[in-house]
């Protein structure tokens, strides 16, 4: 009898325990990672944009934490995505530039989340060359994907499914379909909601073709930068509004691939503007000013559609009662030059394309209206997602989870924030922690000496701390050094200024230490000291043509 009671009790305890475990598993938070392409922080009102307003994106910042100093490890599309998948620098995950193809057989965070019982899905831009692995559901653009009428690849099937409409809207429709009906409601999820916009060539949706028509977008103070005071790399790039921006970028003729109805709407908006431009016969600086206006208006029109569509997803989460247990994170694969230095595009370690927007909301866990100035990176995202899900972080991932920063409360006596090219509301609560990371390592690879590569930005590696930045254009044998407190727009390298000699020496040591820590191979710029005078460009790695970034 006693035995029987004991057995029953034990059985009941086991049942309760199992039920508790199941309950605990089910209550783990959902993660929505909203990711765009080339959206610079200084084109978001949460980051003090002077040129546009992003009310829906700001909802994430207002409801959670705004990170002001998030930087990428390699400022270009595919490599940033590969770093996020793996938590490893480009030289280890094998995706160093946009000519590479991602090896999906390696360890990635979605695979680890799957093992931990999460369902995983990605909808939208993927851009890693190979089919997504580690996802229960994937529906992604083929390569870059067009702005209108995108073919989408479902679950790795090479035969695309065609859609008619504006890509930013369609990706959101598909995202909502998955959230509403395709997922298992009994399992927590990781959902990657990834837009093509606002990538070049910035084709606005039908709703916004005339937005900003009567507005003059403020120019950056260095739109007419002549790159003196910096080295060969800045002076020989091919990404200036003056020389590089082409007729397609400027919408002087309509884009291909539109339906007759879409084309009619497009032409109605652009033909009068283009006629006025042709009649004005602009030259010199006036022409640059006009190009800047056309470029920024189209870019910001694309951002406006992203903002609307993020709002649709946030509304859905609220209406479906999912907001409370869902972490929402917004970021973009790198920043972008919005006429800064006279440029568009990215690649350089200079601030505007190096910085990534990053904000995160999680009701009850991240304090609304908080701000963090610690140095963080896309290298940290995989680890963060894993820790949020309560999954183990593998020892070979190279970043640090940001969860402790997200959950830190406001500090009593915050230090003065470091110098930045962006701003934020002074009402935000400063939750910056005294010690997280002293410096970040950077490495850009996409340049081949024997042929033209997209935008011709020379290879470089570098190190940045709260105030200083040291960049090594190792195949040129040139160094640049910036004091962001004295020169936040990076208009002059102080590398040869004797007053910085000691700091530069320390930064070189730190760069070498980081290269060692991150296992950077010797043939990829691991040249902490001055290179020999006969240093030449490396031999080409692959003869294949480069895809657009």
Say how far apart CA 439 and CA 508 lie, in whole Å: 12
Binding-site residue total for Ca ion (CB under 5 A)?
A: 4
| Site residues (CB under 5 A) for Ca ion, limited to 11-40 | 37-38
Rule CB under 5 A: is residue 352 a binding residue for Ca ion?
no
- Closest contact distance (angstroms) between CB of 36 and Ca ion is 8
- Closest contact distance (angstroms) between CB of 515 and Ca ion is 25
- Closest contact distance (angstroms) between CB of 196 and Ca ion is 10
- Closest contact distance (angstroms) between CB of 523 and Ca ion is 26
- Closest contact distance (angstroms) between CB of 127 and Ca ion is 8
Shorter beta-carbon distance to Ca ion: residue 352 or 480: 352
Say how far apart CA 82 and CA 514 lie, in whole Å: 20
- Closest contact distance (angstroms) between CB of 163 and Ca ion is 22
List all residues 6 or more positions away from 93 whose beta carbon is below 8 Å from its beta carbon: 82, 83, 85, 86, 102, 103, 106
Is 309 in contact with 14 (CB distance < 8 Å)? no
- Closest contact distance (angstroms) between CB of 199 and Ca ion is 6
| Site residues (CB under 5 A) for Ca ion, limited to 464-523 | none
Shorter beta-carbon distance to Ca ion: residue 108 or 353: 353
Binding mask 321-340 for Ca ion (x = CB under 5 A): ------------x-------
Nearest residue (beta carbon) to Ca ion: 77
Q: How far apart are the first and last CA of the chain?
A: 75
Residue-by-residue DSSP string for 370-385: EEE-S-EEGGGHHHHH
Shorter beta-carbon distance to Ca ion: residue 353 or 526: 353
**E strands in 131-262:** 137-141, 151-154, 161-162, 189-194
Is 84 in contact with 378 (CB distance < 8 Å)? yes
Nearest Cα to 481, choosing from 458, 497, 459?
A: 497
Say how far apart CA 87 and CA 120 lie, in whole Å: 17
Shorter beta-carbon distance to Ca ion: residue 356 or 391: 356
Binding mask 248-287 for Ca ion (x = CB under 5 A): ----------------------------------------
- Closest contact distance (angstroms) between CB of 10 and Ca ion is 57
Nearest Cα to 24, choosing from 136, 134, 117, 135?
A: 117
Is 43 in contact with 356 (CB distance < 8 Å)? no
From 69-77, 188-196, 264-272, 479-487, span contacting Ca ion (CB under 5 A): 69-77
Shorter beta-carbon distance to Ca ion: residue 305 or 465: 305
Shorter beta-carbon distance to Ca ion: residue 353 or 439: 353
Rule CB under 5 A: is residue 77 a binding residue for Ca ion?
yes
Shorter beta-carbon distance to Ca ion: residue 333 or 383: 333
User: Can you give the three-state secondary structure of 98-120, one letter per residue?
Assistant: CCCCCCCCCCCHHHHHHHCCCEE
Could you give the C-alpha distances from 119 to 133, 237, 275, in angstroms and in order? Answer: 13, 43, 52
- Closest contact distance (angstroms) between CB of 422 and Ca ion is 18
Q: How many CB atoms lie within 10 A of CB 109?
A: 25
Its sign, for the CA torsion 526, 528, 530, 532, is negative
Shorter beta-carbon distance to Ca ion: residue 98 or 515: 98
- Closest contact distance (angstroms) between CB of 332 and Ca ion is 7
From 76-84, 178-186, 259-267, 528-536, span contacting Ca ion (CB under 5 A): 76-84
Shorter beta-carbon distance to Ca ion: residue 356 or 406: 356
Is 56 in contact with 314 (CB distance < 8 Å)? yes
Shorter beta-carbon distance to Ca ion: residue 335 or 531: 335
Name the residues that contact Ca ion, by CB under 5 A. Answer: 37-38, 77, 333
């Amino acid at each position: 009898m006693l035995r029987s009671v004991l057995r029953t009790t034990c059985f009941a305890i086991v049942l309760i325990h199992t039920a508790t475990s199941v309950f605990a598993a089910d209550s783990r938070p959902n993660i929505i990672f909203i990711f765009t392409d080339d959206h610079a922080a200084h084109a978001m009102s949460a980051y003090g944009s002077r040129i546009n307003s992003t009310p829906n994106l700001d909802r994430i910042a207002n409801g959670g934490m705004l990170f002001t100093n998030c930087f990428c490890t390699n400022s270009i599309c595919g490599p940033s995505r590969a770093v996020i998948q793996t938590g490893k620098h480009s030289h280890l995950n094998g995706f160093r530039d946009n000519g590479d193809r991602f090896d999906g057989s390696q360890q990635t965070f979605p695979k680890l989340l799957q093992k931990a019982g999460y369902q995983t899905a990605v909808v939208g831009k993927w851009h890693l060359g190979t089919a997504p692995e580690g996802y229960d559901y994937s529906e992604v653009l083929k390569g870059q994907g067009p702005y209108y009428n995108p073919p989408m690849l479902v679950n790795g099937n090479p035969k695309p499914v065609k859609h008619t409409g504006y890509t930013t809207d369609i990706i959101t429709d598909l995202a909502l379909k998955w959230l509403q009906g395709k997922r298992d409601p009994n399992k927590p999820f990781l959902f990657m909601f990834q837009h093509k916009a606002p990538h070049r060539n910035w084709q606005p949706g039908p709703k916004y073709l005339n937005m900003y028509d009567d507005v003059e977008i403020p120019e950056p103070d260095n739109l007419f930068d002549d790159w003196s005071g910096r080295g060969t790399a800045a002076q020989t790039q091919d990404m200036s509004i003056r020389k590089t921006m082409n007729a397609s970028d400027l919408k002087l003729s309509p884009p291909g691939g539109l339906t007759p109805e879409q084309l009619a709407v497009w032409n109605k908006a652009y033909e009068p503007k283009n006629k006025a431009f042709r009649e004005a016969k602009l030259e010199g600086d006036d022409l640059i000013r006009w190009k800047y206006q056309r470029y920024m208006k189209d870019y910001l029109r694309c951002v406006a559609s992203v903002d609307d569509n993020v709002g649709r997803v946030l509304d859905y989460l609220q209406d479906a009662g999912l907001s409370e247990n869902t972490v929402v994170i917004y970021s973009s694969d790198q920043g972008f030059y919005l006429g800064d230095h006279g440029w568009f595009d990215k690649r350089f370690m200079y601030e505007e394309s190096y910085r990534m927007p990053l904000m995160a909301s999680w009701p009850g866990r991240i304090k609304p209206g908080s701000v963090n100035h610690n140095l963080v990176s896309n290298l940290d995202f995989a680890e963060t997602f894993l820790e949020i899900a309560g999954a183990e972080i593998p020892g070979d991932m190279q970043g640090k989870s940001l969860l402790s920063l997200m959950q830190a409360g406001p500090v009593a006596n915050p230090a003065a924030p470091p110098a930045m090219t962006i701003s934020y509301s002074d009402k935000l609560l400063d939750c910056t922690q005294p010690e997280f990371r002293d410096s970040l390592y950077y490495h850009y690879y996409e340049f081949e000496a024997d042929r033209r590569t997209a935008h011709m930005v020379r290879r470089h590696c570098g190190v940045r701390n709260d105030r200083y930045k040291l960049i090594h254009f190792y195949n040129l044998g040139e160094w640049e050094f910036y004091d962001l407190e004295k020169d936040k727009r990076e208009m002059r390298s102080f590398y040869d200024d004797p007053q910085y000699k000691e700091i530069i020496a320390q930064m070189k040591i730190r760069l070498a230490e980081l290269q060692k820590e991150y296992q950077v191979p010797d043939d990829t710029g691991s040249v902490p000291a001055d290179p020999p005078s006969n240093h030449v460009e490396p031999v080409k790695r692959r003869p294949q043509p480069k895809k657009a970034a």
